């Protein structure tokens, strides 16, 4: 049997779902291949979306017209805005989701997406025209040939996946799900480099066996917000998370099991995520600590299953269970399944362009954990960009690339293709040099118009952004032009803990004070209250956006100037301009790295580890600058 498509996406995790939806919406006839349609967009680990920097990525995906934000809003059972005590560049939205409903919401979107078909099967072999070094399709285990000039690999942890529970080893990409065999080998035979990485997941707990009265309750925010700029109401019941701690008895039992830990007995050789360590790694790395914090998180509104965040482990089952029962609230605990570690194949991302297309095989794209990342959000962001670029390539249009000053997604992809990975890559706000420009509140301002121009963001989304933009500008203009008299406002200022005025001023000058806000001032300035009441839609969102621009305008302007200076280097194209081996004035390391990565621009070259400022100056001189 033969099927014919424009784009084939292999794997229906978070990267695959966004990739397939994006390419189909841009007009490419797309086929999404998945082992199990009932596991589409499965949350393999934590049933949550967002978090530090990850929440910004989801907001960016949404602003571009992706679906992760919408699905999160429809399935959220708790919402929190993290880092509210810090500046707005650090604010990061996070939501607990109903794991089962998350899958079905994604299925609704995909099954009703024009130009998109789903094929339940397993990819076995990549088909490549060797002479042209061009991908032409895939062969599945059902002996179906799916022909397509573009193939996107989004296989997550399934490529030669191997799970570890103590000394027990099981082939699989996820618990009770088979590994993908042979596909890696069919890819690497074309010169694409692969390696092995490791990740892990914690035990799943039966909530009926937990003494919740002996835990600290962690509720969500009383006032919730949306991930999606479309602003659907959160409709599911909101559930709390719970906090508890390990103790010395727990640690003693875990240490007894270390000889059987695949992380420490030589069974696992690959590298795991530094920022999401297993409980046994915490014991070894932080041996002086007597306790570690754990979060018990609900999996959904209709299930007793709970996820124990902070207790990722690959120790034997009996060790995990014995240790848990030494925590008072878990003394009677029953589990659904133990934690386990998993090793899997990934491909060197420095062999990719910023479009996520392979430099080795034309038409072949990689997105998600197969590029050495960890996290649903990082995967979804890559999938969206790969899907967009596959569709644009088929249409003969310019590539869609996000720069480091435009999006966290741009930072993520640039880090991957420029620096590569030696451990699972996780996004943090600290990885972005322009994080004041990359706030979660302004993702639509940065990205929606760009996406609309290529045909991905809908007219509805674009119109909503234009209306919001207009009202933000009107709000700022009102604050610039409205005068406040000292005698009229001083009593209110003292009540709010702010210094009284000596003379009148413009309203905008009051808003720049850290103790004051537009909403608080509107309780004392009737004209401001009347203006706010005229905002027809998304009032809170507009006021917050205007206030951030007012309060942080100096910082935003300065960072924009710095980014624009770097953009000049981004505009200096150097790809195929140099034979690096012949430039002896470059350091040996720089020659080797530049030759391997073949940076597109001088700015990208400057970010390659081992390429010094003096090496960049050499290239500038040779460019005639």
DSSP notation for 430-463? GG-TTTTTS-GGGHHHHHHHHHHHHT-S-HHHHH
Average of per-residue pLDDT across 539-566: 95
Q: Helix axis angle, 459-481 relative to 443-454, nearest 10°?
A: 140
> Is residue 482 within 8 Å of residue 506, measured between CB atoms?
yes
Task: Indicate the pLDDT class of residue 559, thresholds 50, 70 and 90.
Answer: very high
In this predicted model, what pLDDT tens digit does every residue of 223-270 receive, in sequence order?
889 999 999 888 999 999 999 999 999 999 999 999 999 999 999 989
d(CA 272, CA 342): 9
Instruction: Report CA-CA distances (Å) from 374 to 15, 413, 423.
Output: 11, 13, 9
565-571-573 Cα angle (round to 5):
140
545 pLDDT more than 60: yes
- For residue 392, the 8-state DSSP code is H
Write out the two tokens for 452: 């609309």
d(CA 181, CA 21): 26
pLDDT of 50 reads: 98
Task: Indicate the pLDDT class of residue 625, thresholds 50, 70 and 90.
Answer: low
Question: What is Dmax (Cα atoms) for the chain?
Answer: 83
> Burial level of 365, CB count in 10 A (0-12/13-18/19+)?
buried
**Number of neighbouring beta carbons within 10 Å of residue 167:** 12
| Of residues 419, 416, 421, the one with CA closest to residue 402 | 416
pLDDT of 569 reads: 85
Percent of residues, the chain, with pLDDT higher than 90? 94
624 pLDDT more than 80: no
In this predicted model, what pLDDT tens digit does every residue of 270-292 receive, in sequence order?
989 988 899 999 999 999 999 99
Average of per-residue pLDDT across 519-535: 96
> Is residue 378 within 8 Å of residue 372, measured between CB atoms?
no
454-394-143 Cα angle (round to 5):
130
Query: Where do the domains of the chain lie, and which CATH numbers do they carry?
Result: 2-199+344-454 (3.50.50.60), 201-338 (2.40.30.260), 465-558 (1.10.10.1800), 571-622 (1.10.150.570)
In this predicted model, what pLDDT tens digit does every residue of 328-340 receive, in sequence order?
999 999 999 999 9
3-state secondary structure of 125: strand
> Is residue 582 within 8 Å of residue 565, measured between CB atoms?
no
> Is residue 52 within 8 Å of residue 86, measured between CB atoms?
no
d(CA 380, CA 383): 5
In this predicted model, what pLDDT tens digit does every residue of 77-132 receive, in sequence order?
999 999 999 999 999 999 999 999 999 999 999 999 999 999 999 999 999 999 99
Q: Could you tell me how far CA 602 lies from the centroid of its own chain? A: 27
Average of per-residue pLDDT across 403-432: 96
Residue with token string 């362009």:
353
pLDDT of 266 reads: 92
Task: Indicate the pLDDT class of residue 566, thresholds 50, 70 and 90.
Answer: confident
The pLDDT mean for the chain works out to: 96
213 pLDDT more than 80: yes
């Amino acid at each position: 049997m033969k099927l014919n498509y424009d784009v084939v996406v292999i794997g229906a995790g978070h990267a695959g779902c966004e990739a397939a939806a994006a390419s189909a919406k841009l007009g490419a006839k797309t086929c999404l291949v998945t082992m199990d349609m009932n596991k589409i967009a499965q949350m393999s680990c934590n049933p949550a979306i967002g978090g530090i920097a990850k929440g910004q990525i989801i907001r960016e995906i949404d602003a571009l017209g992706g679906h992760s934000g919408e699905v999160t809003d429809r399935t959220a059972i708790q919402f929190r805005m993290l880092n509210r005590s810090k500046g707005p560049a650090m604010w990061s939205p996070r939501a607990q989701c109903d794991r089962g409903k998350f899958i079905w919401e994604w299925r609704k979107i995909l099954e009703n997406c024009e130009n998109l078909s789903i094929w339940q099967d397993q990819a076995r072999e990549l088909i490549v025209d060797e002479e042209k070094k061009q991908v032409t399709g895939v062969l599945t285990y059902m002996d179906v040939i799916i022909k397509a000039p573009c193939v996107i690999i989004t296989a997550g942890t399934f490529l030669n996946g191997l799970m570890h529970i103590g000394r027990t080893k099981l082939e699989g990409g996820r618990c009770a799900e088979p590994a993908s065999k042979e596909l890696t080998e069919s890819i690497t035979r074309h010169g694409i480099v692969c390696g092995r990485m490791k990740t892990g997941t914690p035990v799943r707990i039966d909530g009926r066996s937990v003494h919740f009265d002996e835990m600290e309750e962690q509720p969500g925010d009383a006032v919730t917000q949306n991930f999606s700029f479309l602003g659907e109401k959160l409709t599911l019941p909101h559930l709390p998370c719970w906090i508890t701690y390990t103790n010395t008895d727990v640690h003693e039992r875990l240490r007894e099991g270390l000889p059987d830990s695949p992380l420490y007995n030589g069974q696992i050789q690959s590298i795991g995520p530094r920022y999401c360590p297993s409980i046994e790694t915490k014991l070894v790395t932080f041996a002086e600590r007597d306790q570690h914090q754990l979060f018990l998180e609900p999996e959904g509104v209709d299930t007793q299953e709970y996820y124990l965040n902070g207790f990722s482990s690959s120790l034997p089952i009996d060790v995990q269970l014995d240790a848990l029962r030494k925590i008072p609230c878990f003394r009677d605990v029953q589990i659904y399944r133990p934690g386990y570690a998993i090793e899997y194949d990934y491909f060197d991302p420095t062999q990719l362009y910023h479009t996520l297309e392979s430099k080795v095989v034309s038409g072949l794209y990689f997105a998600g954990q197969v590029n050495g990342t960890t996290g649903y959000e990082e995967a979804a962001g890559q999938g969206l960009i790969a899907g967009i670029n596959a569709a644009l390539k088929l249409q003969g249009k310019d590539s869609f690339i996000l720069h480091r000053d435009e999006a966290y997604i741009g930072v993520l992809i640039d880090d991957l293709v420029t620096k590569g990975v030696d451990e699972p890559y996780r996004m943090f706000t600290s990885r972005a040099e322009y994080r004041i420009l990359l706030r979660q509140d302004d993702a639509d301002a940065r990205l929606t118009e760009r996406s609309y121009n290529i045909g991905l963001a809908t007219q509805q989304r674009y119109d909503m952004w234009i209306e919001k933009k207009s009202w933000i500008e009107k709000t700022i203009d009102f604050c610039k032009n409205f005068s406040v008299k000292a005698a009229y406002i001083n009593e209110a200022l003292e009540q709010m803990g702010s210094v009284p005025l000596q003379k009148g001023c413009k309203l905008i000058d009051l808003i720049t004070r850290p103790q004051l806000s537009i909403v608080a001032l509107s309780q004392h300035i009737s004209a401001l209250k009347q203006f706010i009441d005229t905002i027809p839609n998304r009032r809170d969102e507009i006021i917050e956006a205007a206030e951030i621009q007012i309060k942080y305008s100096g910082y935003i302007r300065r960072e924009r100037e710095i980014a624009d200076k770097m953009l000049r280097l981004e505009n200096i194209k150097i790809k195929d301009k140099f034979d690096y081996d012949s430039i002896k004035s470059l350091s040996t390391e720089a020659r080797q790295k530049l030759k391997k990565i073949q940076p597109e621009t001088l700015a990208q070259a400057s970010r390659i580890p081992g390429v010094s400022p003096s090496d960049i100056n050499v290239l500038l001189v040779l460019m005639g600058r």
